């Protein structure tokens, strides 16, 4: 009887040992990170596509003890430059729809700060409520366009973009600027996520093509040997910078070191605002072409059709008030 028990024990012993070893190996695997990275991290993608930095020291050097229980924390990544998107916006039937599309895009971009500037005498309830639920770091400003400038044929959103610039300068004026990039994001355009990846690396002023603008399928800076040498455009080719507002980004440092650069009402015609502004902060030779030497369209100057409200009732209104 005793010998039977002994022989069973010795048959089982190796198996018990194998199970113990396997359980031990399993518990030494690194635990998954507790904090998830954003679904889309344009900056790390932009630097060679590696989502995580490679370990320093390389493999096979034998510096790390083999039986280390936890992986070392990865070396700190350089701070991600913040993208500041200045969006002028005004009250109209499609406003909330436009802002919703925009927020859905911006929410997927890491380290983006939305500066929403209402063309209004006060912050509206609709926009305040919207921003509070948008799930984005944001700043809500307002400034009304003077009545005399609200005419067809005159530039739009001059005062609102300047209010955004003033906020940025005030916020960063007293300290050494953190890395940042400014971009003017009108509320009706369409922005690809790749665009933010491209603009994030702006050193001074960067440029790229814009789709569906100027009476053409696209406009773009012409690039030779990595430098902008002219403009492909069908409209006012004499513009010093023949580019739409959606076609460039400026580093925060350039905005701060040119404190007087603003959008001007006096003498500025529609379509010339971009040139008038860019002339104050850069030269064509200095521009940094993005989007594969300006051969890819990553933003579209879409315009929303004026909505038909011909059947809105004058009497017998709905029994509830609904925000649209
Ligand atoms: C083109 C350019 O893409 C704009 O950047 C430029 O401001 C504009 O021309 C101009 O003429 O000044 P476009 O599509 O014609 O754009 O202009 P909108 O999209 O109607 O307006 C540009 C931005 O200003 C939008 O974000 C819009 O919400 C805002 N806006 C427009 C106001 O804040 N107030 C207004 O009265 C009109
Ligand atoms: Mn527009």
**How far, in Å, CA of 168 to CA of 86, rounded?**
10
Q: Which of 4-8, 72-76, 276-280, 284-288 has the lowest mean pLDDT?
A: 4-8
Which pLDDT score is estimated for 92? 98
Mutate-to-test residue for ligand 1 from 86, 186, 304, highest number of ligand atoms within 8 A of CB: 186
CA 139 from centroid of its chain's CA atoms: 15
Our CA dihedral for 129, 132, 134, 139, rounded to 10 degrees, sits at 110
Please report which confidence band the pLDDT of residue 73 belongs to, taking 50, 70 and 90 as the band edges: confident
Predicted structure pTM score: 0.81
Instruction: Compare 22 and 37 and report the one with higher pLDDT.
Output: 22
Among the atoms of ligand 1, which is closest to the Cα of residue 186? Answer: 26
Beta bridge partners of 228: 223
**Mind listing the pLDDT tens digit for each residue in 261-292?**
999 998 777 789 999 999 999 999 999 999 99
Q: Which of 315, 304, 288 is nearest to 93 (CA)?
A: 304
- Which ligand is located closest to the Cα atom of residue 210? 1
**Mind listing the pLDDT tens digit for each residue in 178-190?**
999 999 999 999 9
Beta bridge partners of 289: 207
Q: Is 26 flagged in the annotation as binding?
A: no
Among the atoms of ligand 1, which is closest to the Cα of residue 185? Answer: 26
Please say whether the beta carbons of 160 and 40 come within 8 A. Answer: no
- Which ligand is located closest to the Cα atom of residue 102? 1
Q: Is 187 flagged in the annotation as binding?
A: yes
Non-local CB neighbours of 111 within 8 Å, separated by 6+ positions: 43, 80, 81, 82, 83
**Mind listing the pLDDT tens digit for each residue in 202-246?**
999 999 999 999 999 999 999 999 999 999 999 999 999 999 999
Which single residue is written with the structure tokens 């369409």?
190
Among the atoms of ligand 1, which is closest to the Cα of residue 119? Answer: 33
Q: Quickly count: other Cβ atoms within 10 Å of residue 2's Cβ.
A: 6
Question: Distance from the CA of 35 to the center of ligand 2, in angstroms?
Answer: 38
17 is written with which tokens?
């040992």
Q: Which of 180, 291, 300, 283 is nearest to 245 (CA)?
A: 300
Q: Is 172 flagged in the annotation as binding?
A: no
Element (H, E) at 116: strand 112-118
Question: Distance from the CA of 25 to the center of ligand 1, in angstroms?
Answer: 61
Q: Which of 159, 157, 124, 307 is nearest to 245 (CA)?
A: 157
Which pLDDT score is estimated for 161? 98
Positions marked catalytic: 274
Please say whether the beta carbons of 236 and 323 come within 8 A. Answer: no
**Mind listing the pLDDT tens digit for each residue in 118-161?**
999 999 999 999 999 999 999 999 999 999 999 998 999 999 99
């Amino acid at each position: 009887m005793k010998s039977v028990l002994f022989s069973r024990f010795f048959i089982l012993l190796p198996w018990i040992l194998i199970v113990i070893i396997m359980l031990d190996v399993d518990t030494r695997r690194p635990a998954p990170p507790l904090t998830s990275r954003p679904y889309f991290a344009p900056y790390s993608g932009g630097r060679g596509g590696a989502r995580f930095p490679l370990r320093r020291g390389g493999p096979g050097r034998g510096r790390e003890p083999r039986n280390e229980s936890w992986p070392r924390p990865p070396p700190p990544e350089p701070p991600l430059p913040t993208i500041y998107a200045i969006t002028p916006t005004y009250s109209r039937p499609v406003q909330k729809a436009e802002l919703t599309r925009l927020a859905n895009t911006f929410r997927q971009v890491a380290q983006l700060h939305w500066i929403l500037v209402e063309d209004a005498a006060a912050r509206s309830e609709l926009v305040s409520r919207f921003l509070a639920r948008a799930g984005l770091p944001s700043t809500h400003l307002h400034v009304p366009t003077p009545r005399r400038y609200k005419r067809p044929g005159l530039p739009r959103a001059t005062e609102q973009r300047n209010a955004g610039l003033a906020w940025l300068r005030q916020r960063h004026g007293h300290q050494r600027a953190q890395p940042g990039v400014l971009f003017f994001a009108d509320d009706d355009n369409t922005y690809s996520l790749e665009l933010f990846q491209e603009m994030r690396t702006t050193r001074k002023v960067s440029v790229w093509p814009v789709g569906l603008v100027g009476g053409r399928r696209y406009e773009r800076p012409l690039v030779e040997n990595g430098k902008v040498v002219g403009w492909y455009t069908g409209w006012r080719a004499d513009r010093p910078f023949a580019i739409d507002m959606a076609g460039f980004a400026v580093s925060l440092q350039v905005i701060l070191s040119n404190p007087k650069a603003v959008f001007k009402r006096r003498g500025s015609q529609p379509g010339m605002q971009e040139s008038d502004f860019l002339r104050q902060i850069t030269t064509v030779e200095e521009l940094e072409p993005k989007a594969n030497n300006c051969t890819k369209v990553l933003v579209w100057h879409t315009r929303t059709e004026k909505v038909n409200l011909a059947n809105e009732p004058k009497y017998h209104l709905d029994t509830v008030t609904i925000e649209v």
